[in-house]
Amino acid sequence: MTQPTYDAVSLAIMWDRLISVTDEIVSTLVRTSFSTIVRESYDLSVVLLDAEGKLMAQGSFSVPVFIGTAPRTLRYMLEKFPPETLKPGDVIATNDPWMGTGHIFDISVMRPVFRDGRLIGYTMSITHLPDIGGLGFGAAATEVFHEGLRLPICKLASEGTLDPFILELVETNVRVPDQTVGDLLANVTCNEVGGRQLLDFMDEYRLDELGPLSEAIRSQSESAMRDKIAEMANGTYAHEIQIEGVEGPSTLACTVEVKDESIHADFTGTSGCVRHGINVPLCYTNAMTLYAIKCMTAATIPNNEGFTRPVTVSAPEGCLLHAQPPSPTGGRHIIGHFVPSLIFGALAESAPDKVQADCGMMDLMTIQGTAPNGRGISTIYFSSGGFGALAGQDGGDTVPGPSNMAVVPVETWEAITGMTVLEKRFLPDSGGPGAARGGVGQAVHLRNDSGHPMTVFCMANRTEFPPVGFDGGQNGQMREHRVNGEIVHPKGSYVLQNGDTITLTQAGGGGIGDPKARDRAKVLADVRDGFVTVEGAERDYFVTF
């Protein structure tokens, strides 16, 4: 049978339409979810895959750590439930860290799509659940068994009928069953909508199958990615950094080989796993590596499996970036978010105009307790440091990187938790000085006014090693957590009594280029806008008033 071909215009239109389908799935997921983690912060991803399990399109709103994970998860699902055994209305799910996205708090939900009785593709959604039992989302666990309910690959629904036992099992094991089960069912709903949308798309364009279109999209993406990699200087580049662990520093190391139109990243030399929930499965390391390289090459290409083909990743089993069971992985982002910094540092010689200075990164804190109305609380507070500078471009102020979750609005946060946001303010001089300045961090001051004790799990990094500047740019300010004014361990858990406060001082991004080369008008504007003090302008930029 002759495979159809697509001219550039037709391919672009159909490609965009598939992305619009994924965005409609996201919209359904957000509208039907119960937790602020999905509804407000968009800690989620949705994808469309063809009948061979190849990733065709991913939602515009997707967290970078979910890049490239879905095809691997689908392969595990199909090993247990082969395609020929699936029926319309079946829903498959798992939150296994090593089959999904690296920790037990993310649920992956898949639904096969049938057309005229034939399996033509799959939809999949991934969201961070508000709770899954155990100790809760944090770095305190010493084994994965402490972290909560680990669902093997299971059939959540059979031919449209939900399995009541699985729902009851989840409901029984979590602190906020209405939110957790509600979010789980939102995943089921959005995938059902996604299947209908995909069939409507095929009707509109009179497609009997998706394979040829999927291959055309992926081939275009792969070709564009390889062309961009070819612009980088061939060679083998090594980089190593020290980062804060829990009981002492750890080493992250990588060797990146650029060879013609492909890149291989190897993380040999990285420290071993630790008995705290900061270990990183390889699926997460792979996603962060893909994200970093895509930022440097073909950032505007929508995510699909084609752009991942030229990039391969390896790491020794048992190292911090290739954790094996039963290592706890709950706070894997604390370490995994350093992977782009590691890659950028390695490739600074090969492509100096494309790397980014270190980000202040996002700060996540789990809150567990009782709201003033007596309802249980188990949710996440997101706040951000400054974005790292780029060549010729200042880093965004309090903009997250390398992740992109949104911050819950103050009014919503106070209403659902009973915590008062006493203060949120920019921190002048926290961004690393440079010809391009690093984004400034912020100070966030919260008080427990719920009337009940609250447990907080801190998951902070950048507390011992600052965000590094590149090419003569200076480092950003480090992060700090305080409870009632006293500095606390950035990965510890603490009980806030009613009236207690916690202050999050967020790191600034690193700068790029010699600060003396910064345009005087930009320095004056920074002082006027409150991002740099008069003293900082004189000290760091030699601009006097």
- Mapping DSSP onto H, E and C, the string for 303-330 reads CCHHHHCCEEEECCCCECCCCCCCCCCC
Residue with tokens 């440097």: 296
Q: Which amino acid is at 523?
A: V
Q: Where are the alpha helices (DSSP H) in 35-163?
A: 36-39, 69-80
Of the candidates 401, 392, 404, 360, the one whose C-alpha atom is nearest the C-alpha of residue 510 is 360
Beta bridge partners of residue 241, listed in sequence order: 252
pLDDT in tens, the chain (545 residues): 456 778 999 999 999 999 999 999 999 999 999 999 999 999 999 999 999 999 999 999 999 999 999 999 999 999 999 999 999 999 999 999 999 999 999 999 999 999 999 999 999 999 999 999 999 999 999 999 999 999 999 999 999 999 999 999 999 999 999 999 999 999 999 999 999 999 999 999 999 999 999 999 999 999 999 999 999 999 999 999 999 988 889 999 999 999 999 999 999 999 999 999 999 999 999 999 999 999 999 999 999 999 999 999 999 999 999 999 999 999 999 999 999 999 999 999 888 899 999 999 999 999 999 999 999 999 999 999 999 999 999 999 999 999 999 999 999 999 999 999 999 999 999 999 999 999 999 999 999 999 999 999 999 999 999 999 999 999 999 999 999 999 999 999 999 999 999 999 999 999 999 999 999 999 999 999 999 999 999 999 999 88
Cα 48 to Cα 25: distance, rounded to the nearest angstrom? 10
Is residue 137 helix, strand or coil? coil
Q: Which amino acid is at 230?
A: A
Cα 344 to Cα 342: distance, rounded to the nearest angstrom? 6
Under a CB-based contact definition with an 8 Å cutoff, are residues 321 and 338 in contact? no
Of the candidates 162, 37, 22, 23, the one whose C-alpha atom is nearest the C-alpha of residue 105 is 37
Of the candidates 23, 166, 37, the one whose C-alpha atom is nearest the C-alpha of residue 93 is 166
Cα 471 to Cα 347: distance, rounded to the nearest angstrom? 13
CA dist 332 to 25, 367, 484, Å? Answer: 27, 18, 27
Q: Return the number of other C-beta atoms located less than 10 Å from residue 235's C-beta.
A: 12
Of the candidates 336, 355, 359, the one whose C-alpha atom is nearest the C-alpha of residue 345 is 355
DSSP 82: -
Tell me, what's the pLDDT at 80? 98
Q: Which helix (H) or strand (E) holds 229?
A: helix 211-230
Cα 154 to Cα 165: distance, rounded to the nearest angstrom? 11
Q: Where are the alpha helices (DSSP H) in 48-96?
A: 69-80
Tell me, what's the pLDDT at 1? 45
The strand pair at 311-314 and 262-266 is best described as parallel
Q: Which amino acid is at 538?
A: E
Under a CB-based contact definition with an 8 Å cutoff, are residues 448 and 484 in contact? no
Helix axes 339-347, 282-296, angle to 10 degrees: 40
Is residue 21 helix, strand or coil? helix
Tell me, what's the pLDDT at 2? 52
Tell me the CA end-to-end span of the chain in Å, nearest whole number: 76
Q: Which helix (H) or strand (E) holds 294?
A: helix 282-296
Question: Going edge to edge, which strands form the sheet with 501-505?
Answer: 419-426, 442-448, 501-505, 480-483, 486-487
Cα 52 to Cα 477: distance, rounded to the nearest angstrom? 47
Is residue 448 helix, strand or coil? strand
How many helices (H) and strands (E) the chain has is answered by 13, 20
Please give the sequence-ordered ranges of beta strands (E in DSSP) within 129-178, or none if there are none: 154-158, 161-162
Tokens of 325: 């069971």
Predicted TM-score of the model (pTM): 0.95
Q: Which residues have C-beta within 8 Å of that of residue 50, sequence separation ≥ 6?
A: 56, 120, 121, 210, 211, 214
The 10 Å CB-count burial string (b at 16+, else e) for 142-167 is eebebbbbbbebbbbbeeeeeeeebb
Helix axes 520-529, 534-541, angle to 10 degrees: 150
Tokens of 99: 């089959």
Tokens of 348: 């600074």
